[in-house]
Structure formats: C-alpha cells, structure tokens
Amino acid sequence: MTDPWQLFLVMLVAANPATGLRAVLPGSLRERVPAAAVAAGLAITIVVVAGLVADSLLEGLAIEEETARIAAGLVLGISGGQAVVLGGPLVRDTPRGWQAGLYPLGIPLVLNAAILAAVIAFSANPDAGTGRSIGFAAISVTLTALAALVPARFAGPADGVARLVGAAAILVATAMVVSGVRDV
C-alpha cells in the first residue's frame, strides 16, 4: 500500500468526503465557509502533527510499523462498516459560524479516527513516506470539509455515496490488515 495511488486511496476512503456532504450546516454559503475553513485548518494541523510525530509515537509505545498498519486497517474497517450500516453522519442543529468548524464538523466528521490512524501508520512507513502520507491525508480532509459547503438538498444522495465509500474502505482495510500480517 505504499504506491502513491494506493496511499491516496487509503487516505481518501479513510476521510470519506461523502460524509461532509451530510453535514447540513445552517445559513448561507457565506456563513458556512468559515466553519469549513476552521474544520479543514484544524484537521490539517492535527494530521501534520500526527504524521510528524508518528515515528516517535510508535517507537515510544513499542509498536512496530506493521502492527500500526494492522491497527489502522482495523480502525478503517470499523469506520467503513459504520458508514455502510448507518450512512454518513447527518449533522444538524449545529452552531452558526466558525464554531461549527470545531465541533461537529472538524471533529469527528472531517478529522475522524480512521484518517488519524492511517496517517500515523503510513507516516511511520519509510516506503510510504511521511510527506506523502501527510499530503494525501491533508487533501482528503480538505475535500471532506469542502463537501460540507454543498447545499443541503444533496444530503440524501450523499448517504448512498458515503455507504459506497464505506464499502471501499472495508476492502482497503482488509488489504491493509493482510499486508501488515504478511510483513510481520
């Protein structure tokens, strides 16, 4: 999973941008932009920090890179299963303005457990590369934040897309776990 396109696919299905389409933020587009910007900024900041400290974090916890990949695959599989069963999260009754970018849009919608686990696992993998892992994760969370700007009338179709991306996440997660087990 260290090929650039495979790595991008991992980060994309982990972020599941279709879930951003289901965030029904109140107000006009002008009022929703600050929330999306805060969510993207928050998620990118945490992704960058997590990627940069991944080696030290895993080393300090005595977790091998292969084990981290297996764990990230399990988290991604659970996240994908949740998306398949429940669809993307439908966020309503959020505060207006930039505050919605912190919660619920920023965390847990744009920055979720699957993308965080994936960026840590792959940033610690010398074949994947820290910069590439962080970059692809940053693009993916930005797409999720931008999806929250789409008008609310698309929230229904987004449910189906979120479920399909969830199914893809399960497939990718299975490949991550198998790859990690083979490399142990």
A 10 A CB-CB count for 98 gives 18
Per-chain mean pLDDT for the chain? 92
Q: 139-155, pLDDT tens digit by residue?
A: 999 999 999 898 878 77
Q: What are the residue ranges spanned by the domains of the chain?
A: 4-183
Q: What is the pLDDT of residue 88?
A: 65
Determine the Cα–Cα distance for residues 174 and 170; give it in Å rounded to an integer: 6
pLDDT at 90: 67
The values of phi and psi at residue 103, to 5°, are -145, 130
Give dist(CA 52, CA 55) in Å, integer.
7
Give me the residue label for tokens 């930039």.
Answer: 98
High-pLDDT (> 70) share of the chain, % = 97
pLDDT given for residue 109 in this prediction: 87
User: Does position 129 have pLDDT exceeding 80, yes or no?
Assistant: yes
Q: How confident is the model at residue 89 (pLDDT cuts 50, 70, 90)?
A: low
SS3 23: strand
User: In 3-state terms, what secondary structure has residue 91?
Assistant: strand
This prediction's pTM:
0.93
Least confident of 41-45, 55-59, 157-161, 172-176: 157-161
- Contact yes or no for 130/62 (Cβ under 8 A): no
